Structure 1
């Protein structure tokens, strides 16, 4: 039942998002669009309720409960950003809006973008722990929720691996800056009469 709820919430996210964008740009019904887009976070409430009901009815916490917690955290940290991205894409493609801004291609601005994204991942991981803790507390039986805690602990690999992107961009920028500095020093040395 919980896997079906997770899938239904994911499908519901995209259906509500698509319907909200259609209402805004195709049907020119801004109020309806706003109402549909406001309903998107309610899916998280539904998923949380289904997860807690499942656990309280005697189910042993497992992968599906961990996925529900991670889905809720992702939605909190990236849902609004995803809606804004889709809105800009749709407005540009179907409503004559300006093209969506592209992320910086290089340098410290790119490092900032990658670091911000990574920090959002870390925050989502923290929210996953909060939701997991709430589920464990609501169930009140460690033996039935031990698997949920183990799954959430294993998710630490995601932000740890994702840290490679901002670090690699920063190292790349620093290397180029070091090479540029060395080139400038050697060209200055060449200009000084010996």
Structure 2
């Protein structure tokens, strides 16, 4: 695995460590401002990852899928970051702190609408990530060095399309309510 791939792994771990640290600081130690500061650091991790990938490419590296994943990671973090933090926050409050309402599962059209909002976020993530990749392709201006970026944009477009079909399917065949025993 190359340096950028390891940095992606390190940044993903750092992302969840910062979130967990923020939640622990906020709820266990009752330091709400300090917890909020830690949670607000999550975009800094994205900036560090993008800087490392850009620096590597600037120094002449051939773009790899790992370099491209850095752009995907940023798009996903921007589009889904707040929701991931809220998701973790609700579950931490309920399962760890034993406070607040139990996170509710959605079924039927409520689930379909929730999934559709997630698909819209996925499209936003794609636009951001593919935009970063397209700008990188333009700046580098060397097809051989950026071919993996082009392939990644195409693959991600297919994934967004499949996600659209799954989204539509939940409106046609709503997720049934599971029977409690």
Same fold (TM over 0.5): yes
User: Which 5+ residue runs of structure 2 have no aligned equivalent?
Assistant: 175-181
Whole-angstrom CA distance in 2 between matches of 1:135 and 1:46: 17
CA RMSD of aligned residues (A): 1.6
Q: CA deviation at 1:66?
A: 1.4
SS at the partner of 1:156?
Answer: helix
Residues 4-83 of structure 1 aligned to structure 2 (within 5 Å): 4-83=6-85
Does the 8 Å CA contact 2:25/2:32 hold for their aligned counterparts? yes
Does the 8 Å CA contact 2:94/2:103 hold for their aligned counterparts? no
The structure number with the bigger radius of gyration is: 1
Runs of 4+ in structure 1 over 4 Å off: none
Whole-angstrom CA distance in 2 between matches of 1:100 and 1:77: 25
Q: Number of aligned residue pairs: give it.
A: 172
Task: Judge which range, 65-74 or 7-16, deviates more.
Answer: 65-74
Residue 169 of structure 2: aligned partner? 168
Residue 110 of structure 1: aligned partner? 111
Residue 185 of structure 1: aligned partner? none
Whole-angstrom CA distance in 1 between matches of 2:10 and 2:167: 34
Whole-angstrom CA distance in 2 between matches of 1:35 and 1:88: 18
Does the 8 Å CA contact 2:15/2:42 hold for their aligned counterparts? yes
- For normalisation by structure 2, the TM-score amounts to 0.88
Q: CA deviation at 1:33?
A: 0.5
